Structure 1
Amino acid sequence: MDRSSPEKLILVNREPNGIAIVTINRPDSLNSLTKAMIADLAHAFKTLDRDESVRVIILTGSGRSFCSGVDLTAAEDVFKGDVKDAETDTVVQMERCRKPIIGAIRGFAVTAGFEIALACDILVAAKGARFLDTHTRFGIFPSWGLSQKLSRIIGVNKAREVSLTATPLTAEVAERLGFVNHVVEEGELLKKSREIADAIVKNNQDMVLRYKSVINDGIKLDLGHALSLEKERGHDYYSGMTKEQFKKMQEFIAGRSSKKQSKL
């Protein structure tokens, strides 16, 4: 049974094709987050990660915006709470999630919403979507990774400009800088996200999980150590394969080759 908060502010919909859609559902407040919503969102990712029927997760927001950040009327409750509690930390649970996470962004992704977008593996944005870092404007110290992750994706100078001036990074510029994967018409947002999810679902699930892990773990290291990590995990993977698994791999490759030949 799908779990949502009592007020249905975090919705989880499992589809029969292996795709789960998580929706931040507080549109009247532009999907601003309360402490309870942050905990519920963390719980949703933790639960979906354990659900073997779920292979890809799409995260989106209802209404006009993705997420306008923390509800500042509850700021003290959020920021002075137990920020080290990983179990109720949305971004920690997203980073721990083995399944690929696709962010479907419309409207604004502001501060905490920006950081949640940064925790996604692939981003699809509607035309006109904007990413805004208001930490310096409101005197809030970043704690979900924005000060470190953004510069590694779009470059240090551009990240400094986005964060120190608190001016929006448009979806179109974000796509050019390699942060957003695709910019689409608003009506195509979930369609494009599902297309990407479907392409992932068609692949070997075990390898999808392993590949996401080695990319995400390797990006935290320098290139030399990252290459060693890949080599080590590759060795462990092949060492653990049985003759039957190698045979199935060869049969699969042979089958694909024969299909290509028949089309020539």
Structure 2
Amino acid sequence: MPPCRDLSSILLRQHVSLSLSLSEIAAAAKEMEPPSTEAEPLILVRKDPSGVAHIVINRPRSLNSLTRSMMVDLAGAFRSLDADDSVGAIVLSGAGRAFCSGVDLTAAEAVFKGDVKDEESDTVCQMGRCRKPIIGAITGFAVTAGFEIALACDVLVAGRGTKFIDTHARFGIFPSWGLSQKLSRIIGPNRAREVSLTATPITAEMAEKWGLVNHVVDADKVLTKATEVAEAMLRNNRDLVLRYKAVINDGLKLDLSHALALEKARAHDYYDGMSKEQFQMMQKFISGRKSQPSSKL
């Protein structure tokens, strides 16, 4: 996880070049919102009647840098929504111009010296345990811890101009939320080594080309597209969506032969455990879907 109290001030003070122009940094600082007159939760949760839940990292004046308490609240939000039967999919986004700029440097000691083995308050651990599909709506910057949170999503939608940056090596912070292992499995080890060891940003367009990002759209369309993806999932059999996500993710931890065996075993368990009534419901669902328009995705 990275330190990032305030992306613009850190980069300028340290004279660190991450292939971000000073004009971009200045624009980010300029467009930060003025202080709010009312205290707002730093992690916002909203549930739509459709079954899509929205989690928003809400600290735009600091480019959504994370404190320890924010990480705990974010982990709790995923845990709570996972247990909520009215929720079928989750869209994760950041308020303002950045998705998440990493860990707040003023809170770094509490983060790095805290109880790192406490899985209940571990954001990425709870995202990994969440049965519901998580769609990341990424705009602006996703820096180190923010990059790791993005990698914990199941689908990524990024705005044009978005940059994914790993600054672990730059600041001497050892990764602990999976970036060193996940990125290489997605974009390939050679690309991942260059990205992480040089702290080179990945643009949204390059991320899409490399298979890291599913969709690249205009920045003001990111939330709309992410919500459309979530709603498309909810038009399917919700129980099977959860089971399908689980077998894909669990299979990725195995070699192909064992992953295929896992799929076969879970298929047998699924059909063996299906009652006559459930089988009839499945047939009815299939019959009803034949008259529905196909998904736009």
One fold, TM greater than 0.5?
yes
Partner of 2:202: 169
> Secondary structure of 1:43's match?
helix
Partner of 1:105: 138
Give the one of 71, 77, 102 matched to 1:69: 102
- Going from structure 1 to structure 2, the CA distance change for 1:30 and 1:245 (only over 3 Å counts) comes to same
Query: How do 1:75-224 residues align onto structure 2 when only pairs under 5 Å count?
Result: 75-224=108-257
- Going from structure 1 to structure 2, the CA distance change for 1:170 and 1:249 (only over 3 Å counts) comes to same
Alpha-carbon deviations, 1:85-140, whole Å to 9, x = none? 00100000000000000000000000000000000000000001000000000000
TM-score (norm 1): 0.93
Compute the RMSD of aligned alpha carbons.
Answer: 1.4
Distance 1:257 1:37 in 2: 45
Partner of 1:29: 62
Alpha-carbon deviations, 1:59-78, whole Å to 9, x = none? 00000100000011211110
> Secondary structure of 1:13's match?
strand
Deviation, 1:250, is 2.9
> Secondary structure of 2:132's match?
coil
- Going from structure 1 to structure 2, the CA distance change for 1:74 and 1:257 (only over 3 Å counts) comes to closer
Give the one of 24, 38, 57 matched to 2:90: 57
> Secondary structure of 1:174's match?
helix
> Secondary structure of 2:205's match?
helix
- Going from structure 1 to structure 2, the CA distance change for 1:171 and 1:80 (only over 3 Å counts) comes to same
Question: What are structure 2's unaligned runs of at least 5 residues?
Answer: 1-38
Partner of 2:30: none
Partner of 1:246: 279
Distance 2:42 2:290 in 1: 48
Distance 1:45 1:150 in 2: 22
- Going from structure 1 to structure 2, the CA distance change for 1:255 and 1:198 (only over 3 Å counts) comes to closer
Question: What are structure 1's unaligned runs of at least 5 residues?
Answer: 1-5
Distance 1:20 1:37 in 2: 18
Partner of 1:42: 75
Alpha-carbon deviations, 1:13-39, whole Å to 9, x = none? 111111111000000100000001000
> Secondary structure of 1:33's match?
coil
- Going from structure 1 to structure 2, the CA distance change for 1:24 and 1:258 (only over 3 Å counts) comes to closer
Counterpart residue type for residue 73 of structure 1: T
Partner of 2:36: none
> Which segment is superposed worse, 106-115 or 240-249?
240-249
Deviation, 1:187, is 1.2
Partner of 2:26: none
> Identity over the aligned pairs, expressed in percent?
70
Counterpart residue type for residue 176 of structure 1: K
Distance 1:67 1:251 in 2: 44
> Which segment is superposed worse, 100-109 or 196-205?
196-205
- Going from structure 1 to structure 2, the CA distance change for 1:244 and 1:78 (only over 3 Å counts) comes to same
Counterpart residue type for residue 256 of structure 2: L
Distance 1:9 1:33 in 2: 9
- Going from structure 1 to structure 2, the CA distance change for 1:231 and 1:128 (only over 3 Å counts) comes to same
- Figure out how many residues of one structure are paired with residues of the other and give that number: 255
TM-score (norm 2): 0.83
- Going from structure 1 to structure 2, the CA distance change for 1:193 and 1:259 (only over 3 Å counts) comes to closer
- Going from structure 1 to structure 2, the CA distance change for 1:131 and 1:247 (only over 3 Å counts) comes to same
